[in-house]
Amino acid sequence: MKTYGLIGYPLEHSFSGKYFAEKFEKENIKNCEYRLFPIENIQEFDALKKQEIAGLNVTIPYKEQIIPFLDELDQHAEAIGAVNVIQFKNGKTKGFNSDYYGFKDSLLIFLPKEFNSKALILGTGGASKAIKQVLIDLSIPFKVVSRKEGFDFTYEELNSKSEILEDFQLIINTTPLGTYPKVEEKPDLPYKALTENHYLYDLVYNPSETAFIKAGATQGAKTLNGLEMLIGQAEKSWEIWNRS
Ligand SMILES: NC(=O)c1ccc[n+]([C@@H]2O[C@H](COP(=O)([O-])OP(=O)(O)OC[C@H]3O[C@@H](n4cnc5c(N)ncnc54)[C@H](OP(=O)(O)O)[C@@H]3O)[C@@H](O)[C@H]2O)c1
* Helix residue ranges, H only, the chain: 15-26, 44-48, 75-80, 98-110, 126-137, 155-160, 211-218, 227-241
Q: Mutation test of ligand 1: which of 185, 203, 204 has the most ligand atoms closer than 8 Å to its C-beta?
A: 203
What's the CA-to-centroid distance between 91 and ligand 1, angstroms?
34
Closest residue by CA, ligand 1 atom 42: 125
Check residue 226 and give its pLDDT: 97
Contact 208, 180 (CB under 8 A): no
What's the CA-to-centroid distance between 66 and ligand 1, angstroms?
20
Check residue 244 and give its pLDDT: 84
**What's the topology of domain 100-229?**
Rossmann fold (3.40.50)
Radius of gyration of the chain (CA): 19
What's the CA-to-centroid distance between 111 and ligand 1, angstroms?
22
Contact 60, 10 (CB under 8 A): no
* Ligand 1 site, residue 55, Cβ cutoff 6 A: no
From the CA of 187, give the closest atom in ligand 1.
33
2-96 and 100-229, same CATH topology: yes
Q: Residue 205 and residue 208: Cα distance in Å, rounded?
A: 5
119 contact partners, CB below 8 Å, separation of at least 6: 135, 140, 141, 142, 143, 168, 170, 171, 172
Check residue 14 and give its pLDDT: 82
* Ligand 1 site, residue 16, Cβ cutoff 6 A: no
Contact 59, 8 (CB under 8 A): yes
Domain ranges (residues) in the chain: 2-96, 100-229
60-102 pLDDT tens trace: 899 999 999 999 999 999 999 999 999 999 999 999 999 999 9
Q: Among all residues, which ones are annotated catalytic?
A: 63
Check residue 13 and give its pLDDT: 74
All residue ranges of the chain with pLDDT < 70 are: none
Q: How far is CA 243 from CA 27, 52, 235, in A?
A: 18, 17, 12
184-193 pLDDT tens trace: 999 999 999 9
Check residue 224 and give its pLDDT: 98
Q: Residue 205 and residue 178: Cα distance in Å, rounded?
A: 9
- What's the CATH code, domain 2-96? 3.40.50.10860
* Ligand 1 site, residue 98, Cβ cutoff 6 A: no
Q: Residue 192 and residue 87: Cα distance in Å, rounded?
A: 46
Q: Residue 70 and residue 95: Cα distance in Å, rounded?
A: 7
